[in-house]
Structure 1
Amino acid sequence: MRVAIEDVPGLHREGKKIGVTSVCSAHPLVLKAALRHGRETGTTVLIEATCNQVNHLGGYTGMTPSDFAAMVKALAAVEQCPTELIVLGGDHLGPNPWKDRPAEEAMAQAGTMVDAYVRAGFRKIHLDASMGCAGEPATLDDHTVAERAARMAGVAEQAAAQSGGASPVYIIGTEVPPPGGADHALDAITPTSPEAARQTHAIHAKAFQAAGLESAFSRVIGLVVQPGVEFGNQNVIFYDRTKASDLAATLNTLPSLIFEAHSTDYQGERPLRELVEDGFAILKVGPELTFKLREALYALDLIASDLVPFYGQRPLYQAMEELMQAAPKNWASHYHGSDADKRTLRHYSYSDRIRYYWATPQARAACDRLFDALKGRKVPVTLFLQHLPSALAWAARGCDVEEIAIDHVQRSIEIYARACGT
């Protein structure tokens, strides 16, 4: 079922517990899985890029917002996914990539980034100015955060008016989990207090009003809160609706809103469904999808090692290990313990920091070698049973690594879709 994201709060007021999955990834195979699911089911495909990943200076993917939008459009054409099903979102848009600079300089960059996102056709905009810049506390007070959010919303409104695009819808909120999951083992996560949620909304309303942005604030559809879910490197904190009941009840006093839940990866269908039922109606997922992609590729690497003469012993795994060892900045501060512990985490952590390396030429070459080694080969049923049971149906036909990987990722997307009631 196609759902306009701006209609979700109204649907919840009517008792229709519908949610939307937000796919947060730049990997083409993950995006193909999301777009294919949209084509097959006719459901909304919400795809989001983050400020560090994609920005006007390229981000860590090397893509600007217009580059990212063009990539999604090209992949949608390949997957024959109707463009009217696709919604592009910008996540954590704010000064974070430049927080080591003075606030005015960082906010100027953030404004340029927001302008680029909106002009490129992104219409779901998460305004996140919660982080301190150079010389400021790491966590800012709500008033400063709200004023900076309103400033960015003003830029977005102007960009939409000048470019002729649809008016953006906004997500606000400062209770934002660390992107990509926590870097340590977790025992429990405390949900946002109802008072904090109401205060965040009220302070933002005043800041937008002071900036003459009442129309923009009328399009704030969601508030980022912490429902008590998170994942660390090796464990997951699952949703406990009894602990979040007071927070969920807060929506009765904020009838124009739903909550947006970050870090919902690895929750599974029942907790995700309970989140949606309780008003956490935008479910953001990213690392789980690239984790599933890696899971499929590594399994096929093992199959090729067992099946194909001269392929070698896990060359894809070895290539990724060499890459991560040579460029440790994307994982070194997240993984701790002995050398053996860190080696395991580099490949199998829930936080999936390996996702930062798939776009490198070395990783692409290793994947191409795997694709070529198995292309068209008949894989025995027993090898799929050993390494990748989800791909068992492929035993009856010639192997296609890309299709197998997309299918494996799509299984997670289907879980989210069922939880969202779409």
Structure 2
Amino acid sequence: MHGHYLQKLAQAHTQGRVLGITSVCSAHALVIEAALRNGKDGTAPVLIEATCNQVNHEGGYTGMTPTDFQRFVLEIAGRVGFDPERLILGGDHLGPNPWKHLPPQQAMLNAERMLEAYARAGFRKIHLDTSMACLGENDPLDGALVAGRAARLAAVVERTVNEAGLPPPFYVIGTEVPVPGGASEKVEDLQVTTAQSALETIELHRQAFLSKGLNSVFARVIGLVVQPGVEFGNENVVVYQPEKAQQLSALLQGEPQLVFEAHSTDYQPTAALQHLVRDGFAILKVGPGLTFALREALYALDHIAAAMRPLPEHESLRSTMESLMLAEPHYWDHYYHGDDAARRVQRHFSYSDRIRYYWPFAAASRAVEAMFSAFGDEPIPETLVSQYLPQLYPYVASGQADSSARSLVLAAIGQVLAQYQAACGE
């Protein structure tokens, strides 16, 4: 069913029907739980993706291999009663990116091992991204070289699934987006991918797959990553303008097996998400926007806790996160600019949401768990929900939502996901 669903996206677009899928790009347990809870009552699959830097055969920055990540997601699915048959696991930007400081040959050997690990763990949606220059190479790389490397990695995946007796996966190619992790600074004047450039990418990959005897595999390429003109920086969001992507969108009429995959769709208004899907950008990736909602809800609970039983400031969650980020600055210091006050605001409240890298740290997870334990399963007074989580107040006041601390966090993430579900016609 899953693969069939991914192929149905292009069929639907060709027939003028609105059908998309949300790609949840996060390794945070609460984000994954919210996604599975939100998708539980529908019929569409839930797509959860891991990136090459987060999860790889060496453990990535989460410490998880693809098999670990698969187990982690299945354990959450079991806990919330989500049917694992409706789960699609994807791998994002899979290629030499984590090893680009090495010579190309070594970087590609590492990429091959990573793709093999993803394939063996049952990931069904594979985004091949070999666009990055490795040690000693000129940037940007020649398009034919990029396509050749992508085909080489596809061959590894095919061999692995054949040997393991697993169902064949589906592929996404191309990479007209910032590096994994997102843009920094203020984003201005985005160049939408030209139709000519997109057609060239498709043709180069078609030839590369053909030259490796992978023509039947190319039939399972379901998506192309392009830049539709959406992005976010630390302080601003560039909203989709359909008229700028008209020519790009039109090329899908001649490529009936493909839809576009849009990265960095975080923080787009609901109408923009709906227009993206209508225009063939049927795979909508979101990650930082979900952990941003998570952080907003956790910080709101921090304020509620202080209102209910005053604590010393240094015991607040905000204070714990600030100490942690100052002690371990490598995830934010190259990305945030300005004076001390500006950087302090960005550390906690930036659209780039680089605070998301700190939630897995022991000090952070202890502080969050301590807060959840202190609240327990008791309902939080409606008036405090109104003050600190006003977007959830109508649901709590009307009895549609439970106001325990944990439920409020899941509901805050769920609200963002509901915008995507609406846009995808789910």
Q: TM-score, normalised by structure 1?
A: 0.97
- CA contact under 8 A between 2:34 and 2:414: conserved in structure 1? yes
Gaps of 5+ in 1: none
Alignment of 1:8-407 (within 5 A): 8-310=9-311, 312=313, 315-392=316-393, 393-394=395-396, 400-407=404-411
Q: State whether residues 12 and 18 of structure 1, in contact with CA within 8 Å, keep that contact through their aligned partners in structure 2.
A: yes
SS in 2 for 1:221: strand
Contact 2:379 2:405 in 1 (8 A): no
- The Cα RMSD (Å) is 1.7
| Larger mean Cα displacement after TM superposition, 180-189 or 102-111 | 180-189
Give the Å deviation of 1:399: 5.0
Moved more, 388-397 or 106-115: 388-397
Q: Is the 8 A contact 1:20 1:283 kept in 2?
A: yes
Report the Cα offset of residue 367 of structure 1: 0.5
1:87 is paired with a residue of what secondary structure? Answer: strand
Contact 1:305-1:313 within 8 A present in 2 as well: no
The residue type paired with residue 126 of structure 2 is: I
The alignment partner of 1:283 has SS state of strand
Deviation at 1:176, TM superposition (A): 2.3
Structure 1: which amino acid aligns with 2:104? Answer: A
Other-structure match for 1:421: 425
* Contact 2:223–2:260 (Cα < 8 Å) also in 1: yes
- Give the partner amino acid of 2:386: L
In 2 relative to 1, CA 245–261 (structure 1 residues): closer, same or farther, beyond 3 Å?
same
* One-letter amino acid matched to 1:286: G
CA contact (8 A) 1:377 1:398 kept: no
Per-residue Cα deviation, 1:62-111 (whole angstroms, up to 9, x for no partner): 00000000011000001101111100000000000000000000000000
Higher deviation after alignment, 174-183 or 77-86: 174-183
Q: Secondary structure at the match of 2:91?
A: strand
Distance 2:76 2:285 in 1: 21
| Amino acid in structure 1 at the alignment position of 2:80 | E
The aligned amino acid for 1:118 is A
Question: Distance between the aligned counterparts of 1:408 and 1:367, measured in 2?
Answer: 16
- Residue deviations 1:174-196, cap 9 Å, x none? 31233333211122211000100
Q: Distance in 2 between matches of 1:373 and 1:250?
A: 55
**Which digits, 9 at most, give the CA deviation of each residue in 1:117-154, with x for residues without a partner?**
01001010000000000001232111110000000000
Q: Are the counterparts in 2 of residues 124 and 169 from structure 1 also a CA contact under 8 Å?
A: yes
Contact 1:170/1:220, CA 8 A, preserved across alignment: yes
Once residues 153 and 180 of structure 2 are traced to their aligned partners in structure 1, the CA distance between those partners, rounded to angstroms, is 21
Contact 1:232 1:350 in 2 (8 A): yes
Does structure 1 retain, via aligned residues, the 8 Å contact 2:51–2:180? Answer: no
Distance 2:117 2:305 in 1: 43
Identity %, equivalent residues: 51
- Aligned pair count reads 422
Q: Which amino acid aligns with 1:418?
A: A
Once residues 98 and 63 of structure 2 are traced to their aligned partners in structure 1, the CA distance between those partners, rounded to angstroms, is 14
Q: Which moved more, 1:385-394 or 1:362-371?
A: 385-394
Q: Give, as a single letter, the amino acid of the residue that structure 2 aligns with 1:206.
A: Q
C-alpha contact 1:302 1:313 (8 A) present in aligned 2:
no
CA drift of 1:382 comes to 2.5
Aligned-pair CA distance for 1:311: 6.5
The separation in 2 between residues aligned to 1:405 and 1:381, in whole angstroms, is 15
Deviates more, 1:360-369 or 1:90-99: 360-369
Question: Is 1:410 paired with 2:414?
Answer: yes
Contact 1:8 1:258 in 2 (8 A): yes
The answer as to whether partners of 1:23 and 1:47 remain within 8 angstroms in 2 is yes
Q: Which moved more, 1:132-141 or 1:337-346?
A: 132-141
